[in-house]
Structure 1
Amino acid sequence: MLSRDRLTHDRIWAAIDGLARRHGLSPSALARRAGLDATSFNRSKRVGPDGRRRWPSTESIAKVLDATGTDLTTFLTLPLPDATPDAMPRITTAWAGALGPADLPEAPGEDFAFPGPDADRCFAVAAEGDALAPAYRDGDLLVVSATEPVRPGDRVVLHLADGGWAAGELAQRSARSTYLAGTEPRRVANADLAWIARVLWVRLC
């Protein structure tokens, strides 16, 4: 008989992650196989903006079980992963994907483990070449959040609609543009901005 602790929020999401790993898939690939939106199982979807935990729907669970040929008992008894720091997507400045206002990037490559608060709402950006210069150098690794509010004085990373990047201290943001201060100040029209993320932590190379 299954014990009650099998039905906690963390246990259900861990089971989805475990099912994806068992079939050699990422959570987003598992969602697509089940005919769901690719972002259905994003870590950013598991907690709402107000901090309330979101549960996957029974319909979503039924679809992934059907798509993988897994019965409910097996699903709920998948082994839990060892306790480790939360993992987050890790992208490089060569990445050219899009990002919704409440989504994490569907990033290629390995995840980055970061033991900080709300790590499941963050992602790591690895600077390559001079993409983030002069604020950051080749090899620097930044943990950022695209859902954290940004204010003047915050360190931020900008991803531009044309695939370019910019980074620095946010000096001013209006309805039309975003202005970065620093040794090479820069103003970016918001129409040319794909997203802005607040820098929470940096590992210098």
Structure 2
Amino acid sequence: MFTHKQVWTAIDVIAERYGFSASGLAKKAGLDPTSFNPSKRHGPDGRPRWPTTESIARVLEASGASIEEFSDLLSGRKGQPPKRRQIPLIAYSQAGKPGFFDDSGFPTGTAWDEIEAPGVIDQNAYAVEIQGEGMLPVYREGDIVIVSPSTSIRKGDRVIVRMTNGEVMARILHRQSAKTVELSSFNPAEEVRSIEMKDIDWIARIIWASQ
């Protein structure tokens, strides 16, 4: 049985190890930024507050840390953080060109640059450098997003979509059925776009951004 202090210490180490503050990691995980603040770790009556299993799962997904790494930290075995590996990097304008992806949307070929990945587990992950202002206010020119083609996607996820005609777009998955996909723009003023599945090569989830 792990103690309250051990659990929170493990979260703090994960945050520091992957370049976040406690509040920054909470925000990255889609939680209230104050969720992990020291003042929130005990209730008004002094009783300990524990992070939920869902919160911990979100922390691991947001940071890229593995469950094994978290378990080691809980047990007091800090060890060494996983070595950051290099993943392929491509400019957004290149993503629609032939020779960079296979039929499953996995990176292929030798024309890619490389970039260090912060704890990314997916062996098929790749990075895309944002160009232009078409993805404001979410992404700015020069931002780097990491894409995981092996990760399942769900409503509300930010995704990269490649069409059969070579068009590539970054959007938010609004709805998906067997025949169509509805995609929301990062600009809330734009209408939701509905696309037939037969016109899509692949859809991959954005799992991290250098913002």
Give the TM-score normalised by the residue count of structure 1: 0.52
Match of 1:159 in 2: 162
Residue correspondence of structure 1 range 24-35 to structure 2 within 5 A: none
Instruction: Find the aligned partners of 2:166 and 2:153 in 1 and give their Cα distance.
Output: 21
Asked if 1:190 corresponds to 2:193, the answer is: no
Aligned 8 A contact 2:105 2:204 in 1: no
Shift of 1:111: 0.6
Residue 163 of structure 1 and its aligned partner are, at CA, apart by: 2.2
Cα separation, 2, equivalents of 1:151 and 1:122: 18
Confirm whether residue 169 of structure 1 aligns to residue 164 of structure 2: no
Give the C-alpha shift of residue 130 in structure 1.
4.2
Q: Cα offset for 1:140?
A: 1.7
- From 92, 110, 114, the equivalent of 2:113 is 110
Q: Is contact 2:148-2:206 (8 Å) kept?
A: yes
Q: CA offsets per residue over residues 17-46 of structure 1, 9 Å max, x none?
A: xxxxxxxxxxxxxxxxxxxxxxxxxxxxxx
In structure 2, what is the equivalent of residue 199 of structure 1?
Answer: 206
The 1:132–1:84 alpha-carbon spacing in structure 2 relative to 1, beyond 3 Å, is: same
Query: Could you list the per-position Cα deviations for residues 87-120 of structure 1 after superposition, in whole angstroms to 9, with x for gaps in the alignment?
Result: 1111112221343327323352421110313142
1:124–1:143 Cα contact (<8 Å) kept: yes
Alpha-carbon spacing, 1:119–1:112, altered in 2? closer, same or farther (3 Å): farther
Q: Which residue of 2 aligns with 1:55?
A: none
Matched to 1:154, the amino acid is: D
* TM-superposed deviation, 1:162: 2.0
Gaps of 5+ in 2: 1-81
TM-score w.r.t. structure 2 length? 0.51
- Provide the C-alpha distance between the structure 2 equivalents of 1:131 and 1:105, rounded to a whole number of angstroms: 26
Question: Which amino acid is the alignment partner of residue 172 of structure 2?
Answer: E
For 1:6-17, list aligned pairs within 5 A. none
Secondary structure at the counterpart of residue 147 of structure 2: strand
What does 1:1-205 align with in structure 2 at a 5 Å threshold? 84-95=83-94, 96-97=97-98, 98-101=101-104, 103-106=106-109, 108-130=111-133, 132=135, 135-182=138-185, 183=188, 184=190, 185-204=192-211
* Structure 2 SS opposite 1:128: coil
Are 1:88 and 1:112, in contact at CA under 8 Å, matched by a contact in 2? yes
Count of aligned pairs between the two proteins: 122
% identical aligned pairs: 27
Does the aligned pair in 2 maintain the 1:123–1:143 contact within 8 Å?
yes
Gaps of 5+ in 1: 1-82
Offset, 1:132: 4.5
Q: 1:188 and 1:140, CA in 2 relative to 1: closer, same or farther beyond 3 A?
A: farther
Relative distance call for 1:157 and 1:132 in structure 2 (3 A) is farther
SS at match of 2:123: helix
Contact 1:172/1:178 (<8 A) preserved? yes
